[in-house]
Amino acid sequence: MSKGADQTVRFADKDGDDLAPVTEAILRIQAQDGSLPAERALADRLNIKRHLLRRALLALRDRGALPTPLPRPRRPQPTTGGAGGIARDTNPVEVMELRLMVEPPLARLAAVRATPNQIAQMRALIEGGVRQGGSAADLHRMIAAASGNALARVIHDMIRTIDHEVRESVHAANLRPANDADEHRAIVEAIAGRDPEAAEAAMRVHLTSIHRVLSAILG
């Protein structure tokens, strides 16, 4: 199938329409090229809207025909403005107050939108990485990604970058509640159980625990 042939493909754009033609075209392109191009380029090649492409990619990932991409960990970098400037004017307790406003609704969305592969990755992480320490941020990043809201994920990454910087500045990077692992498990199981209310509540309980620890130590 040539690129010219790709461009002749037309797909309907309504929920409930058959996605088989577009998923088949995606798999053909992957077989031909060895990998898929960026989302925008793939949508242009197939001459379809990006939201339809996303539905098709999600369907393929749910079936295991395509891997679910892991969110890329972003190493916090020292900055001279933007997030760095904000970090100089705030503190860990204030950041936790903001996380309490942002992350519980993201967990709620993740309970509705997370793919089976994303849920499996969250479970694998709490069984291994988080229990060994150092990967809690990865779990929260996965949940933000599973919310399906790209803008919210960017905002979440910015908040976590500031969180890292302000905690490092007061030597509080590793402060966690004693029942951290159980709280993470409760969040993931609520998401896996497709229970938005429970997922939101579990995330709120978890962040409140962290807020309490930081407040007690930092005042």
| Shared domain check, 102 and 52 | no
Over residues 167-184, the pLDDT tens digits come to 787 766 566 778 888 999
Per the CB < 8 A criterion, the answer to whether 88 and 32 are in contact is no
| Shared domain check, 143 and 102 | yes
Which amino acid makes up residue 67?
P
Per the CB < 8 A criterion, the answer to whether 76 and 166 are in contact is no
Is residue 94, in this structure, part of any structural domain at all?
A: yes
| Shared domain check, 151 and 92 | yes
| Shared domain check, 197 and 89 | yes
**What Rg, from alpha-carbon coordinates, does the chain have?**
20
| Shared domain check, 208 and 103 | yes
Between 190 and 136, where is the model more confident? 190
- The number of folded domains in the chain is 2
Closest CA to 69 of 31, 35, 40, 42: 35
Closest CA to 191 of 127, 133, 104: 104
Residue 202: which pLDDT band, with cuts at 50, 70 and 90? very high
Which whole number is the average pLDDT over 29-41? 87
Is residue 205, in this structure, part of any structural domain at all?
A: yes
Is residue 77, in this structure, part of any structural domain at all?
A: no
| Shared domain check, 125 and 90 | yes
C-alpha atoms less than 13 angstroms from C-alpha of 10 in its C-beta half-sphere: 1
In which domain, by residue range, is 169 found? 83-218
| Shared domain check, 206 and 159 | yes
Closest CA to 141 of 119, 162, 117, 157: 157
Rounded to whole angstroms, how far apart are CA atoms 96 and 76?
17
Does residue 114 come out as left (phi exceeding 0), alpha (psi in the -120 to 50 range) or beta?
A: beta
Please name the residue ranges forming H helices in 147-195: 150-169, 180-192
Whether the predicted model's global pTM rises above the 0.75 cut: no
Which CATH number goes with the domain that contains 202?
1.20.120.530
Is residue 32, in this structure, part of any structural domain at all?
A: yes
Element spanning 91, H or E: none
Over residues 62-119, the pLDDT tens digits come to 888 887 765 555 555 544 445 556 777 888 889 999 999 999 999 999 999 999 999 9
